[in-house]
Structure 1
Amino acid sequence: MQLTGKHSPNKQFCGYEEKNKMKFKRCSGILMPISALPGGYGIGSLGAPARRFVDFLHEAGQSIWQILPVGPTGYADSPYQSCSAFAGNPYFIDLDLLVKDGLLKKSDFAKLSWGGDPKQVDYGTLYNQRFAVLRKAYHNFLQQRPVPGYETPYPDDWYRFQFLSSDWLPDYCLYMAIKEENGMVDWQKWPRALRLHEPAALEAFRAEHAEQIEFWAFVQYEFDRQWRALHAYAKSKDVAIMGDIPIYVAADSADAWAGRRLFEMDADGRPRRVAGCPPDYFSADGQLWGNPLYDWSYHRDTGFAWWIRRVRHALSIYDILRIDHFRGFDTYWAIPAGEVTARNGRWEQGPGMELFRMLHTALGDLPIVAEDLGEMFESVRVLLAESGFPGMKVLQFAFTGDDSVDLPHNYPRNCVAYPGTHDNNTLKGWFNSELGAAGQKQARAYFALTKQEGELRGLLRGVLASPAVLAIVPLADWLEEPAASRMNTPGQAQGNWCWRADAAAVTPALAKEIRALCARYFRAEA
């Protein structure tokens, strides 16, 4: 995996060698969504819960912390259906850090209910409670301003954040304020003048709702401050953060509302066709995601400017970038708007290497991991090879009775190996309930699994021993969580993204065990 140029992580990460280019040496990491961190108030946060996990990674000899998208969660609480391709999730703002900054008192939130189960995120409760607390913090932020007439009534870093975010923040804040004023309904149900972005209507709304708009800027400012402090802390512990961006944006998003020309939309802003994927391993009806499709002709005409801004932003907050559904840059599944399943879509041609050449020209060499799972055409393999990005290999796809490309002995060096991803069952749930007797027999023989070692530990050993330059293991699999702890079931609209780790299980003893196993296969220092 080549990570070169100005966006490359610190050369200490993963034992980099700096010659003409930087290359990953063998290393390993853990997939752990921020939402699933133990501690905090109803959900993981960017403060002490995240720092404790960075410390755990450091003690475990792990070089990479892979997370899921950090944008505001949208439809069905999915981080892959965010209302912004650029904004951060307000739920991740650490309330204790706001207390430390004098923006809250502990009594403002300590007695609030955040849900009945500390091992589950209750998104409904978060929605009802969190924003009221953040509004108190905003009110106190306003009270901290110097006396009237002072030239800069806000802190200097407020203006710096506003300047650096000027290509997305104003639209996002306006979108959120209008959405809030209209009962949080989809923007396509707003009054026509606001829905169609008519300048006079927007200007009138801005004048009448200035403080409401500024509240949403404050929320993003606090997210940015806390995120950058966490990122710096991770770097100090030699832990690189692998972020994740969905290929598509949500239909109900600031991006779709303010940038309709970017997408296949009609004059009223309604999608002509939407995204998804055809029937596959995960779903017999395919997956109907409903995201608006890109108007790739427009993107070419503008030199892929929006994509350059998007990737530049992502690489300003992450060390490594995983792009979800990479195959959609080669060919993508286009479904007529109004369909109830993904069966009746058709394959269309994506931008291919033209996009990545433009990104390379604008941003330098790109530390990108390509999620190349799903139905694969030879053209997708050619695109992946030409890009030079590492793809992904998933152990749970391997045991089909033949010499599968997902069996570890077939992994190329330039790939990232997983036992399973956030879309898979936990390793325990898969092995016990999905693999079947024939698959279990093949797995036991292939890895020489024993009860003494533990069958699940033996499977993880096989992933770590593979030739893949990077091995990523979900924390749920190190904890041997059952199927009930699965993060996401594709095609299932409800009940996903809720799992949280038990703090009592994330122990120094586990860190020591992880380090020892990774060191055995030269992915960590002993």
Structure 2
Amino acid sequence: MSDILDKRRAGILLHITSLPGAGDKGDLGREAYHFINFLHDAGITVWQTLPLTAPHADGSPYQCLSAHAGNPALINIEWLVSQGWLQLPDNNEEAQITLKANKSGLLNRAFSGFLAQADEQDKDSFEHFCLAQGFWLNDFSLFIALRNVFNQVCWNQWPELLKERDAKAIREVRRRLKPEIQSIKFTQYVFFRQWLELKAYALQQGVLLLGDIPIFVSYDSADVWTNRDVFKLDEAGEMLVVAGVPPDYFSETGQRWGNPHYDWTYLEKTGFAWWLERMRTQLELFDILRIDHFRGLEAAWEIPANEDTAINGVWAKAPGKALLNAIKTGLGSIPLIAEDLGVITHEVEQLRDEFNLPGMKILQFAFDSGPDNPYLPNNYTKNSVVYTGTHDNDTTLGWCEKLNEGQRHYIYDYLGHPSMPLHCALIQAALASIANLAIIPMQDILELGSEHRMNTPGTTEGNWNWRFQWQQLAPERTAKLAQLIQLFNRNG
């Protein structure tokens, strides 16, 4: 769809929350800029993150409150201080304690400061943002304000008139909650400003930002509350079927994700307007987009909502060709990557190839069968993206440590680097491959073990919390990475 992926490039996979820093999670402050400098120095031209959208309490960026809204936890508080909208204690120790305090409270204080201190240019900028993003922002801000009123319970448990979006009830609650709604809009304004400033800096340093679009959205989201016709729901707004995947490499009972399925008939009738709006927002934020679970655009695993596991699901067809044509017509040729992992059929490959989308190759999947394994580098095409592993895999060092001797010998025979640590040989194999884009998780760059993995599919605790520290990145490690980038001509 775009020639931006035709060049030979290298990238690193690291979510914003995994950046170092004083707070509980990484954010869009100085460490993000420092990371871009590191990428530039190493000759890496792509930074891939996980979705930036606002998660639920479990922290998963793949189960979010909106397909559009940014995660307020990623906002850098010191930026607000620099704008003059928030004041911290003069005492540095007290200031650090305040920075670690409740971020939503600080953002509310910053909004009060904005109203009192911001100049006309900033106030006009905020107003323009609210108008330009109103197609999702108006409903999202009301949705979050109501969730706060009702102690974070799902919208299907709200009072009937609000659950059903009765026009009179919605007008009244918008009036009553106007200050809270405006503060939520301000938070999104700050997030978008900070991200777009970071994106502009990345562009100056020759770094492209690669974003991830989960194919499905959460049931408990502004999207489902305000667009019930887009999803397969009954008259009461309850899910008839839920999304997931059948039994596979990750789970013997499959994965029951619990997301609502799309009503593709309705979406086709409306020209896929909901999807186009979603893509348009993400294209503001990113240079390249990866569609997570791309195979769901050809057929998706539908599980009856009353089933506890994914075993008794069925494949339900989806109009992926019509959707991708609508995206191309409405948004032009945009750089898309197809996450084509899992149960991939000829029809899925045909859909991917018809739109010339690069698919994904995972080296950790390459050595468990014969020479026809599509993840072996000798079977790649240029139009593909190779990873040592993804956020859902073990770290490559951790994966290597679990291999038996026979498996290790087989991989060494294939790679031809018997004197090199196996995890390093796999990184080098990814960079040396014919694939136009090679992406290495930051954990693999740092040669970290299993305790540093980002996510374990099928589990709900202990995920999404990993962070790195700069002292793990010795100068010689950066120099070695830069040497490999140069050696394999991946400067982009």
TM range (shorter): over 0.9
Q: What does 1:181-192 correspond to in 2, within 5 Å?
A: 181-192=149-160
TM-score, normalization: structure 2?
A: 0.96
Deviation of 1:199 (Å): 1.0
- 1:7 aligns to what? none
- 1:406 aligns to what? 375
- 1:8 aligns to what? none
Q: What does 1:282-297 correspond to in 2, within 5 Å?
A: 282-297=250-265
- 2:410 aligns to what? 442
Distance 1:47 1:500, change over 3 A: same
- 1:394 aligns to what? 362
Is 2:6 the partner of 1:24? yes
- 1:171 aligns to what? 139
Q: 2:97 aligns with which of 111, 136, 140?
A: 111
Deviation of 1:75 (Å): 5.0
Distance 1:460 1:106 in 2: 44
Is 2:328 the partner of 1:360? yes
Is 2:204 the partner of 1:236? yes
- 2:116 aligns to what? 143
Q: What does 1:110-509 correspond to in 2, within 5 Å?
A: 110-112=96-98, 114=100, 129-144=102-117, 155-403=123-371, 404-433=373-402, 435-451=403-419, 453-509=420-476
Amino acid at match of 1:417: V
| Structure 1, unpaired ranges of 5+ | 5-21, 115-127, 147-151
Distance 1:145 1:416, change over 3 A: closer
Distance 2:95 2:57 in 1: 26
Moved over 3 A (4+): none
The answer to whether the 8 Å contact 1:443/1:449 transfers is no
Distance 2:465 2:290 in 1: 22
Distance 1:92 1:331, change over 3 A: same
Amino acid at match of 2:29: G
Deviation of 1:132 (Å): 1.5
Is 2:65 the partner of 1:83? yes
Deviation of 1:401 (Å): 4.1
- 1:3 aligns to what? 2
Is 2:53 the partner of 1:71? yes
Distance 2:475 2:127 in 1: 42
Identity percentage over the alignment? 41
Deviations 1:28-52 (Å, cap 9, x if unpaired)? 1111101101114111111201100
Deviation of 1:506 (Å): 2.7
Deviations 1:446-487 (Å, cap 9, x if unpaired)? 112334x32221111111111101000011101011101110
The answer to whether the 8 Å contact 1:333/1:347 transfers is yes
Deviations 1:140-174 (Å, cap 9, x if unpaired)? 1222257xxxxx79611111211210110000000
- 1:95 aligns to what? 77
Amino acid at match of 2:2: L
Distance 1:223 1:313, change over 3 A: same
Deviations 1:7-28 (Å, cap 9, x if unpaired)? xxxxxxxxxxxxxxx6522111
Distance 1:401 1:299, change over 3 A: closer
Distance 1:75 1:340, change over 3 A: farther
Deviation of 1:313 (Å): 1.2
Instruction: Give the RMSD, CA atoms, in angstroms.
Output: 1.6
Distance 1:303 1:501, change over 3 A: same
Distance 2:425 2:5 in 1: 29
Amino acid at match of 1:34: I
The answer to whether the 8 Å contact 1:332/1:349 transfers is yes
- 1:124 aligns to what? none
The answer to whether the 8 Å contact 1:56/1:508 transfers is no
- 1:517 aligns to what? 484
Distance 1:109 1:335, change over 3 A: farther
Deviation of 1:317 (Å): 1.2
Distance 1:399 1:455 in 2: 13
The answer to whether the 8 Å contact 2:397/2:448 transfers is yes
Distance 1:311 1:112 in 2: 37
Distance 2:174 2:405 in 1: 63
SS for the counterpart of 1:251 is coil
Distance 1:459 1:312 in 2: 36
SS for the counterpart of 2:458 is coil
Distance 2:5 2:195 in 1: 26
| Structure 2, unpaired ranges of 5+ | none
The answer to whether the 8 Å contact 1:28/1:524 transfers is yes
Deviations 1:172-220 (Å, cap 9, x if unpaired)? 0000000000001111111111111111111111111110111110100
SS for the counterpart of 2:375 is coil
The answer to whether the 8 Å contact 1:64/1:239 transfers is yes
SS for the counterpart of 1:168 is helix
Distance 2:265 2:48 in 1: 33
Amino acid at match of 2:399: W
The answer to whether the 8 Å contact 1:515/1:524 transfers is no
Deviation of 1:133 (Å): 1.6
The answer to whether the 8 Å contact 1:40/1:49 transfers is no
The answer to whether the 8 Å contact 2:88/2:98 transfers is no
The answer to whether the 8 Å contact 2:400/2:422 transfers is no
The answer to whether the 8 Å contact 1:398/1:407 transfers is yes
SS for the counterpart of 2:68 is coil
- 1:16 aligns to what? none
Deviation of 1:490 (Å): 0.6
The answer to whether the 8 Å contact 1:40/1:94 transfers is no
Distance 1:410 1:257, change over 3 A: same
TM-score, normalization: structure 1?
A: 0.90
SS for the counterpart of 2:96 is coil
Distance 2:95 2:168 in 1: 40
- 1:35 aligns to what? 17
The answer to whether the 8 Å contact 1:401/1:442 transfers is no
The answer to whether the 8 Å contact 1:109/1:133 transfers is no
Deviation of 1:436 (Å): 3.2
Deviation of 1:226 (Å): 0.4
Deviation of 1:437 (Å): 3.2
Distance 1:485 1:410 in 2: 30
Aligned length: 487
Distance 1:288 1:175, change over 3 A: same
SS for the counterpart of 1:338 is coil
SS for the counterpart of 1:76 is coil
Amino acid at match of 2:167: P
